[in-house]
Amino acid sequence: MFIGHFAPAFAAAAISPRAPKLGTLFVAAQLVDWAFFVFALVGLEKMRVDADATVMVPFDLYHMPYTHSLLGTAVWAALFALFIRSRDRDSGAALLAGLVVASHWLLDFLTHRPDLTLAGGEETYGLALWNLPYVAIPLEIGITLAAFVWYLRRTRGPIGPPLILMAVLLVFQAINWFGPAPVEANWMLYLQALLAFGIATLIARWVGNNRWHKRARG
């Protein structure tokens, strides 16, 4: 998934006025992918281009025990929750942020071919919905738009920034699905992914700074 990972971020921002702002939740949503591409740059985790990996995504993610194992994701979630608890002095905000991080493994489990592990072992898991585009595409777009609409209904503020955010996310997703496949997995690919995450997060920060939860006091 790509933009589907941001659905929990929108949902967390909608569910409670105690949630961290949307920019922070966007970092949480893709935290393990941020870490994966940084680790890939330095060789700690690995991927390669394989046209036969799945119908939709030509990547063989064959070594990512520190970020995309269930245990690894749980550790990232706990660390991020502790960071938010320390920064905001709010256990509720920390819990929501940690849950958004943890959602990453569950959403990847739906779409990835079996390349996820529980703790970096030999057993791998994944339902491989990327081999079923007529299921994966409506699922990812559907959960993202549903969470986005819920976020809009539960918050107030100018409508322009969130619409720009959604437009950018949809363009990124279209490029991911329908753009030319990369020839090889290299530092340029990793930096492109990190740049896309960064752009989405900066726009989400802009949105979050201009919208307020309807239940917020003051």
For residue 218, the model assigns a pLDDT of 52
**Dihedral, CA atoms, 209, 211, 214, 215, nearest 10 degrees?**
-10
Give the integer Cα–Cα distance in Å for 19 and 9: 10
For residue 100, the model assigns a pLDDT of 98
For residue 217, the model assigns a pLDDT of 61
For 142-179, write each residue's pLDDT tens digit. Answer: 999 999 999 999 999 999 999 999 999 999 999 999 99
Q: pTM for the complete prediction?
A: 0.95
For residue 216, the model assigns a pLDDT of 78
Average pLDDT over residues 173-194: 94
For residue 168, the model assigns a pLDDT of 98
For 24-66, write each residue's pLDDT tens digit. Answer: 999 999 999 999 999 999 999 999 999 999 999 999 999 999 9
Average pLDDT over residues 99-106: 98
Chain CA centroid to CA 175, Å: 16
Is 84 within 8 Å of 97 (Cβ atoms)?
yes
Average pLDDT over residues 86-111: 97
Is 104 within 8 Å of 31 (Cβ atoms)?
yes
pLDDT at 215 over 90: no
* Phi and psi at residue 196, to the nearest 5°: -60, -45
For residue 210, the model assigns a pLDDT of 96
Helix, strand, or coil here: 46? strand
Give the integer Cα–Cα distance in Å for 41 and 110: 26
Give the integer Cα–Cα distance in Å for 38 and 27: 14
For residue 2, the model assigns a pLDDT of 87
Helix, strand, or coil here: 125? strand
Average pLDDT over residues 184-192: 95
Give the integer Cα–Cα distance in Å for 123 and 165: 38
Q: Over the chain, what is the mean pLDDT?
A: 96
